[in-house]
Amino acid sequence: MAQLDTREKLAILADAAKYDASCASSGTAKRSSRDGKGLGSTDGGMGICHAYAPDGRCISLLKILLTNSCIFDCHYCINRKSSNVRRARFTVDEVVQLTLAFYRRNYIEGLFLSSGIIRSSDYTMEQIVEVARRLREDHQFRGYIHLKTIPDADPELVHQAGLYADRLSINVELPTASGLKRLAPEKSGVRIEGAMGDLKGAIEDGQDARKHYRSAPKFAPAGQSTQMIVGADSANDAEIIGSASRLYDQFRLRRVYYSAFSPIPDASTILPLKRPPLIREHRLYQSDWMMRFYGFAAHEVTAAAGDDGMLPLDMDPKLAWALKFRGVFPVDINRAPKEMLLRVPGLGTKAVAAILSSRRTHALRLGDVARLAVSLKKIRPFIVAADWRPVALADCVFPLLEAKSTAQLELFAA
């Protein structure tokens, strides 16, 4: 086989990485290269998306695989052993040089490196760690590094990875154990969760050490995250939200990413060949927001799902929840506590903060609320304001909203 040049490899190894949903470069320690020796900075906050692809997803990191060859045969994965895709493999140096060159031109915030498993888990992990080591030590690179760790790899290697990386992740792959068994028979849920548990321990030890010695090295300051594929196994939304919330609690994850299963070239017959249910993925992210920012418990979010455990596709889950628990509405904009205001459909965290601040000076009228929120129409049936009470309206709005919710079937059609 003819040697591929770096650009050809990049085409193959970025293509192979595009199914991974995680992209964020957020929440790490603040760093800069003011000392004039290194390259790069992180601002400790949200990270920067440097471009957007036509699929609406942001490009923040150079997201690639070290190689798309793999000794495993996971059915959901384009890189599985039995797939006919073209294979390529970067050298450690190629990844380092690409990262630096892209970074200097302000195309990216850093690197997100993952890999197919070649030879052995340890060998693969060593290569991943070596990329990060060279970036950090040889080139004093201070941008963001996210490494995908291999669950079976030697804990010592994972520990080294954590010293170089801002974030580490291990994908749980599928929301149900039975799905994992069917689609990735060589992977084990127990091992994956074991590795996530180890990481949690190491991250906490690192934080502890820094409380005592300020000079202790930072271990994965942006924490750990995971991804699960949605739509390739039988899990319904309620089950997915349940397992996400368990993962958040158990392993103190920063983020759970959802990736709608995508038809892939050369798929295994086990998989659905349908268009990915993008709306479903979106609804799951909204449910994640409900838990992370609006104070809903997992069981409350799943209560918004229908009998089949699925969140409605034609409205956001917060609205769905409100329609189910309409007894708690209307909420008085001028008196309700923050927690209740956060539950009003259409009110985000910023609007709620503005309401709380403003009502200290005067009683808010509907017109005031309109100035603070994106769309008053959505909010109106659920609130009481100084000049507003949604009496009969509630009864004529609710059935209307509900009648729309039968479209789910069609949206999943091929």
Contacting another protein within 110-149 (CB under 8 A): none
- Single out the residue of 1, 2, 3, 34 in contact with another protein (rule: CB under 8 A): 34
- Compute the least distance from the CB of residue 152 to another protein, in Å: 22
Distance CA 158, CA 29 (A): 20
Please say whether the beta carbons of 281 and 260 come within 8 A. Answer: yes
Please say whether the beta carbons of 133 and 126 come within 8 A. Answer: no
- Compute the least distance from the CB of residue 7 to another protein, in Å: 5
Closer residue to another protein, CB minimum distance, 104 or 292: 104
Please say whether the beta carbons of 270 and 183 come within 8 A. Answer: yes
Distance CA 56, CA 266 (A): 25
- Compute the least distance from the CB of residue 336 to another protein, in Å: 17
Distance CA 282, CA 287 (A): 9
Q: Is 3 in the site for another protein (CB under 8 A)?
A: no
First to last CA, the chain: 38
Q: Is 405 in the site for another protein (CB under 8 A)?
A: no
Question: Quick one: residue 295, left, alpha or beta (phi over 0 = left, psi -120 to 50 = alpha)?
Answer: left
Interface positions, 305-334, toward another protein (CB under 8 A): 306-310
Residue 191: name the closest of 183, 199, 15 by CA.
199
CB under 8 A: which stretch of 7-15, 152-160, 199-207, 374-382 binds another protein?
Answer: 7-15
CB under 8 A: which stretch of 154-162, 218-226, 320-328, 367-375 binds another protein?
Answer: 367-375
311: helix, coil or strand? coil
Residue type, 151: P
Per rule CB under 8 A, count of chain residues that contact another protein = 94
User: Residue 308 is encoded by which pair of tokens?
Assistant: 């089949």
- Compute the least distance from the CB of residue 313 to another protein, in Å: 12
Binding mask 271-300 for another protein (x = CB under 8 A): xxx-xx-x----------------------
Closer residue to another protein, CB minimum distance, 51 or 190: 51
Distance CA 208, CA 213 (A): 9
Distance CA 253, CA 303 (A): 23
Q: Is 98 in the site for another protein (CB under 8 A)?
A: yes
The CA-CA-CA angle for residues 77, 80, 83, to 5°, reads 100
- Single out the residue of 362, 377, 389, 404 in contact with another protein (rule: CB under 8 A): 362
- Compute the least distance from the CB of residue 36 to another protein, in Å: 5
- Single out the residue of 27, 40, 317, 346 in contact with another protein (rule: CB under 8 A): 40
- Compute the least distance from the CB of residue 126 to another protein, in Å: 25
Please say whether the beta carbons of 97 and 139 come within 8 A. Answer: no
Residue type, 222: A
Closer residue to another protein, CB minimum distance, 181 or 326: 181
Interface positions, 211-270, toward another protein (CB under 8 A): 233-234, 236, 239, 260, 262-270
- Single out the residue of 1, 2, 53, 391 in contact with another protein (rule: CB under 8 A): 53
Residue type, 107: Y
Q: Is 57 in the site for another protein (CB under 8 A)?
A: yes
Residue type, 130: E
Q: Is 188 in the site for another protein (CB under 8 A)?
A: no
